Amino acid sequence: MGSLSIWHWLIVLVIVMLVFGTKKLRNMGSDLGGAVKGFKDGMKEASADKPADKPAEPQQVSGHTIDVEARREQTKS
């Protein structure tokens, strides 16, 4: 039981084409391509909408100022 040769893949391709037909396979291919394109466009829009990294502003908690960056460094240690 080794890997499949090119002849095995050609036979599988012919059987798939006989079962589904070329028109249905073409439609499935274009639908898949459209989905991938839509996903890429969505990722580009999401990264464009994301604001640039700004330094965190200090927060006020019950009258005390907390430095967020210092708090992060303390939790990493």
Task: State the alpha helices, DSSP H only, in 1-77.
Answer: 6-20, 22-49, 68-76
In a domain, residue 18? The reply is yes
2-43 pLDDT tens trace: 688 999 999 999 998 888 888 888 888 899 999 999 999 988
The residue written with tokens 């396979």 in the block is: 25
In a domain, residue 1? The reply is no
In a domain, residue 23? The reply is yes
Polymer length in residues for the chain: 77
In a domain, residue 65? The reply is yes
Contacting residues for 25 by C-beta, under 8 A, at least 6 apart: 16, 17
Instruction: List the domain range (segments joined by +) for residue 64.
Output: 6-76
Domain count, the chain: 1
In a domain, residue 71? The reply is yes
In a domain, residue 27? The reply is yes
pTM of the model: 0.42
Q: Where does the pLDDT of residue 65 fall: very low under 50, low under 70, confident under 90, or very high at 90 and above?
A: low
